[in-house]
Structure formats: C-alpha cells, structure tokens
Homo-oligomer: A and B are copies of this chain.
Amino acid sequence: MTKTLKAGILGATGTVGQRFISLLSEHPHFKIHALGASPRSAGKPYERATKWKMAKAMPKEVRQHIVKTCDPRDEFLECDVVFSGLDADVAGEIEMAFMKANIPLFSNAKNYRTHPEVPLIVPLTNSSHFDLIPHQRTKHNLDKGFLVTNANCSTTGLVVPLGALQDAFGPLSKVMVTTMQAISGAGYPGVASLDILDNVVPHIGGEEPKMEWETLKILGSLNKDKSGFDLLTNTKVSATCNRVPVIDGHLMSVSIEFARQPAPSVEEITRVLENYRTEAQELGCYSAPEHAIIVSQEEDRPQPRLDRDNGNGYSVTVGRIRPCPIFDVKFTLLIHNTILGAAGSGILNAEIAQKKGYIV
C-alpha cells in the first residue's frame, strides 16, 4: 500500500499553486499540509489570501488553512514532499533553502532547470534522471532532501513523443516546432484581454530558448557515475512560440528528421507512439495515464478544447502524422499546459520518486 504523504505547496496563491491544490485535494496519496505564499498573504486563511481562478471550486480542506511564508520551518518541516509553484524571481533562494533543510522539493520554476546537478524531469520521458539524487544528497549532506524540477510546459509536450521516437529509432537530427500556447500558461492576470481577443501574439518571452535547450537535457542521459548529465549534441531544435486565445492546452506543429536514414515510416512511427509505455505506468503511479501518448486518427485533431483533458490532462495527444516534404515526418501535438505541463508533472514526479524509494 502506498503511504499517504504530507505535502506542502510554495506559491500556493498563484495559478500553478492553485492547480497543485486542486489536483492534490483529490489525490489519494497526498494530504495538503502546508501552504506558503508571500508575506502579504501569510497569516490569512487561504480563501482570503487568494483569488481562486480554477473552474473547479476551491477544496473545502484549504479554505481555512492559514497561509505561511515560504520558509523551511514549522509545518513545512513536517512535510514529506514540497511542491513549488513560485515565480522565478523568488524561487532561487527559497527552493535552495528548502533542499538544504532536507526537504524533497519538486519545483515548477525555471531557476534550477539548467543547473548541472539538478534533474530536469518530464515524468513520462526521463524518470531515469532521478538517479542523480544520491549524488545531490552526498554533495549537500542530506539524507532525505533533494531538488528536482519539471520542464517548461511546451518542452514537456514536445519531448514526450520525441523521447518515444528516440528510444525506438535512435537520435533525431532536427526538430522544428511552432507552438500555439494557451493563455493560462502566463498565469494571472497574465495576458491582457485586449492583447489576445481576436488576435495571436507571436512572441512569448524566453520560451523559445527554453524549448531549444531543455529538450537537449531531458532527452540526454545521466553520465556514467550519475553525477551529471550528458546533453544531446547532435540534435538541433528550432522553436517558435505564439500565444493564442485558448484557455488551456498548448498545440504544436512539429517536423522532425531522424539521424538514421532511411527514416522510419509513418506507420512505424504511429505504432511506436501508440504503444509507448513509460516507467510511471510500469510502477503503477496513481496519476500515470493509461496511454502516455494518444494518437488521434481524425484529420483535424488534436484540438485544445476537445483533447486537453485526455488522460485527465496527463496524456499527450498526437495527430496528423504525415510525411514532411523537407524533413522526415510532421505531426501535431497537444499538452494540457497546467496539468502535465506544470503542476501535474511535479505530482507525477513525486509519485515516481516515492515508488523508486527516494521519498521515505
């Protein structure tokens, strides 16, 4: 039987924090134990500290929960695991302090994603990278604590099928991706309605380099002694990011080229994506979707509004797999950006870590 874990949430009043609360409140293996936010919110009951923006109503259990500051003490020290939905401008110091306080921390912030000794884990793709934790603990002299990040929401959607294909057919040489990203990715208030109604904004600050770099770390491997990462060096990624008037769900047009030539056929690729199994499923993780990748055969799918909740928001949906006149193959993919693309990744990562014995 899976032990129920006491969970803390940093940045609990923001949009990522709200999603953590919404998902954890219905989760059988976690109990929300600590809520952290800025000093402005601290001391208030949660319902008065936040402007709740989820379509699902605020869980009763957190309404009266008193919000604390984001310090690794009191309730947080009692947590088995802490999730961070902090903004990047404050995440750096706070998250490091939590790790050093011997707390297992799963961060959604970008700050440590590029750190050479912090795993950047997409739970459906590179859960093997958890094996860097012993090195991290040794270095910082910890017995329970560690720091793991999940990836950018768009990167997460992209690497799931790419990883499945790389496993099956070897390295990709080129990946060209154009995203159409939902407004929820920008938090709240985030995108002004005057900027996005009847409009598309062809730029998202910092997003393109993140997609291009994170992909190489996630699809790379642990080094031999499990003390660092060997990034991909022979895969080129070119990303263009656009914001569209969609609430949830990042859609991407992708074109890829394999190192191996002749490349696998559309049929072979389809079969590999449909049959892709991942460690989270093998371990029986609660949030792991039945299908990590759902392949749609309809010519006009996936669509954000109709497919974002596939696998309860934990599946990546792929469609329109077809030859590319320039590279080998093109397809369209969709990820629920605030579930698998953010809070859900953190939670599923924690489930994997627990199953693998890294949370005790």
Residues of A within 8 A of B (CB): 53-57, 174, 176, 178, 180, 183-184, 188-203, 212, 236-238, 240, 242, 244-247, 251, 253, 255, 299-306, 309-310, 319-320, 324-327, 330, 332
Contacts and interface: CB of A to CB of B under 8 A. Distances in A.
A240 B237 CA distance: 18
For this chain, the copies found in one complex come to 4
A309 B202 contact: no
A4 to B, nearest CB: 26
A320 B197 contact: no
15 contacts: A53-B306, A176-B326, A193-B245, A197-B247, A198-B198, A198-B304, A199-B306, A200-B251, A202-B251, A202-B253, A202-B319, A236-B326, A238-B325, A240-B330, A247-B305
A194 B240 contact: no
Contacts of A245: 193, 197-198, 244-246
Given A56-B309, A190-B194, A242-B180, A320 B236 contact: no
A299 B238 contact: no
A244 B247 CA distance: 13
Nearest to A239: B325
A305 B200 CA distance: 8
Given A193-B193, A202-B303, 19 more contacts: A55-B306, A176-B176, A176-B326, A180-B244, A183-B197, A188-B194, A189-B189, A191-B194, A192-B193, A193-B195, A195-B303, A197-B245, A199-B304, A202-B253, A237-B326, A238-B326, A238-B327, A238-B330, A242-B253
A300 to B, nearest CB: 4
Contacts of A300: 201-203
Given A198-B198, A299-B203, A238 B255 contact: yes
A327 to B, nearest CB: 7
A330 B239 CA distance: 10
B194 A184 contact: yes
A14 to B, nearest CB: 12
Nearest to A325: B238
A230 B199 CA distance: 38
A55 B309 contact: yes
Given A193-B192, A193-B195, A300-B201, A242 B251 contact: yes
Nearest to A303: B199
Nearest to A310: B57
Nearest to A199: B305
A196 B194 CA distance: 10
A301 B200 contact: no
A319 B202 CA distance: 9
A203 B299 CA distance: 7
Contacts of A244: 180, 200, 244-245
A199 B302 CA distance: 10
A200 B304 contact: yes
Q: 6 shortest A-B CB distances, which residue pairs?
A: A189-B192, A178-B178, A203-B300, A199-B305, A240-B253, A202-B332
A299 to B, nearest CB: 5
B202 A301 contact: yes
Nearest to A56: B309
B326 A198 contact: no
A194 B198 contact: no
Nearest to A333: B202
Contacts of A191: 192-194
A188 to B, nearest CB: 5
